[in-house]
Amino acid sequence: MADEVTTDFGREAETETTAQRERGRRDADTETDPEGGEVEDGNEFYRIHQTQLARTMEHVDLENHVELILSEPKNEIIVNFPVQMDDGDYRLFTGYRIQHNNIMGPYKGGIRYHHDVTLGEIKALASVMTYKCALLEIPFGGAKGGIRMVTDDHSGDELESITRRFTHDLGTNIGPEYDIPAPDMGTNGQTMVWMMDTYMNMHNQLSKNARRRIVTGKTIASGGSRGREKATGQGVVYCIQEWADERGVRLDGCEYILQGFGNVGSHTARILSRLGAVLVGVQDHTGSIMNRDGIYPRKLNEHVENNGGIAGYPEAESIDGDEFWGLDCDICIPAALELQVDEDVASSLDCDLVIEAANGPTTLEAEPVLADRDIEVIPDVVANAGGVVVSYFEWVQNKRSESWQLQEVDSRLHFMMKRAFHEMRAFAREHDVDNRTAAFAVALDRLNDVYTERGVFP
Ligand code: NAD
């Protein structure tokens, strides 16, 4: 590597750069919090992600200019917009869209509605998307967006107005061949349909229907793909099956704990129960529950739909958070927020595998603890990639005016998840590195090849 070009990855592994400290300060100082909650700058997750990448660089023969380009997002879009609430008052919301990289194809990534959304968090999530798409060989780049708000405090009408105004203010920063949003925490098929409808109506009426693929993760009635809603959970299960095959573990009777019972968590649980796996503990934002005889995901799902969370589920015992993480099981599935498995949680886990259904659930300090305790980690970049894979299928179906059967979606998804999983495992074995380093390395190799062939304009 040429010495004169300095990248942020290397330095961030050791310490924050002055520019990043400044940026961190600016983020923390200037972000408004219209919902009145406490604002964290989210740079911890960004720092962790950069450090993990820096570690990977030691195992990849990366051109220095590629490292430099990937060290920062290409575009950071921040919009502040007012929306009238049901009571007639106006509130100001801050929305983000971070476009990390598009060398492989249009920017692609979810939209998160959550009270902890920050610029730093969205930057890290956008960057993860670049590597996820490269690892899975999907012709998309990486992006992420979000609005910091307490979704439970808003009526359906207010959520619709917020979504439509956000989409309007993003304007031409998104597009069906340029940047394609999808659901993430706090958003769903309905949110995507509002985004699609707003975008379609903002632009030329003659080609209106060609713009349905401006978002993916839509409801099936409005142009979504069969299998998209469960896709992330389905992909998590395909990875678990590959891990189990490799280790000679039988999933029938296998016990697991699950944090998060939203889209990803609930679908993972429902699919796992069909394979005979037993859910012994669940945690969400309303509490933690356990039942050593097993919790039925379908029944729990009904309870969550009616009550907004798992608390009060009658067929399980309420426990505290520490007890939840310490439950004896085979597999732990974090499927909620980032930074949940810290050093303490890693020390108390009693399982063989942590599979990161959520993005970024494991802290840097937890990683060596898990490794010392021989607990394997399947990282987010492969584990939860099922969502973006089927989003890609949805985009292709919209483009070709096709509608694939579920079996076709699932079998294509299976093939791609399995391929990525084994490419990661092969690199890990060959280079004697952990799965996360291996997954990033395979992705970085691909990005490096494309940049090397295409060069940098002008
Ligand atoms: P969701 O909004 O549907 O569900 C989130 C779940 O997390 C809920 O059960 C909620 O109660 C729980 N939760 C929130 N705060 C919590 C806390 N403090 N403690 C414990 N639980 C808490 O979100 P989702 O779409 O299922 O996304 C979950 C994770 O999966 C996120 O990290 C997201 O980025 C990732 N992911 C989602 C998709 C997708 O297709 N939806 C794709 C890839 C990755």
Closest CA to 215 of 109, 94, 123: 109
Ligand 1 center–CA 285 separation, angstroms? 10
Provide the β-strand partners of residue 107.
179
Q: Which residues are designated catalytic?
A: 144
For residues 42-55, b (16+ Cβ closer than 10 Å) or e, as one string? Answer: bbbbbbbbbebbbb
Q: Where are the domains of the chain?
A: 18-222, 231-383
Q: Of the given ranges (11-15, 143-147, 427-431), which has the lowest mean pLDDT?
A: 11-15
Sign of CA dihedral 250, 252, 256, 262: positive
The pLDDT-based confidence of 26 (bands split at 50, 70, 90) is very low
What's the rounded mean pLDDT across residues 41-57? 89
Ligand 1: residue whose CA is nearest its atom 35: 358
CATH among 3.40.50.300, 2.60.40.10, 3.40.50.10860, 1.25.40.80 for 18-222: 3.40.50.10860
Task: Tell me the helix, strand and coil percentages in the chain, rounded to 5.
Answer: 50, 15, 35
Ligand 1 center–CA 184 separation, angstroms? 7
Q: What is the pLDDT of residue 2?
A: 35
Q: Beta strand 90-101 with 75-84: parallel, antiparallel or unpaired?
A: antiparallel
The pLDDT-based confidence of 8 (bands split at 50, 70, 90) is very low
What's the rounded mean pLDDT across residues 37-43? 55
Ligand 1: residue whose CA is nearest its atom 34: 359
CATH among 2.40.50.140, 3.40.50.720, 3.40.50.360, 2.40.110.10 for 231-383: 3.40.50.720
pLDDT at 102 over 80: yes
Q: Which residues lie below 8 Å from residue 376, measured CB to CB, with a gap of 6+?
A: 243, 352, 353, 354, 435
**Pairwise CA distance, residues 340 & 358, whole Å:** 10
What's the rounded mean pLDDT across residues 231-251? 98
For residues 405-414, b (16+ Cβ closer than 10 Å) or e, as one string? Answer: eeeebbebbb
CB-based contact 149:100 (threshold 8 Å): no
The pLDDT-based confidence of 22 (bands split at 50, 70, 90) is very low
Q: Beta strand 278-284 with 287-290: parallel, antiparallel or unpaired?
A: antiparallel
Ligand 1 center–CA 96 separation, angstroms? 18
**Pairwise CA distance, residues 26 & 116, whole Å:** 17
What residues are in contact with ligand 1 under a 6 Å CB criterion? 183-186, 232, 259-265, 283-285, 309, 335-337, 357-359, 384, 387
**Pairwise CA distance, residues 11 & 54, whole Å:** 8
Q: CATH topology of 18-222 equal to that of 231-383?
A: yes
pLDDT at 292 over 70: yes
pLDDT at 17 over 90: no
Maximum pairwise Cα distance, the chain: 64
**Pairwise CA distance, residues 361 & 45, whole Å:** 9
**Pairwise CA distance, residues 217 & 109, whole Å:** 11
List the strands of the sheet with 376-378, edge to edge.
317-319, 287-290, 278-284, 255-259, 331-334, 353-355, 376-378
What's the rounded mean pLDDT across residues 26-46? 53
pLDDT digits (tens, 9 = 90+) for 377-388: 999 999 999 999
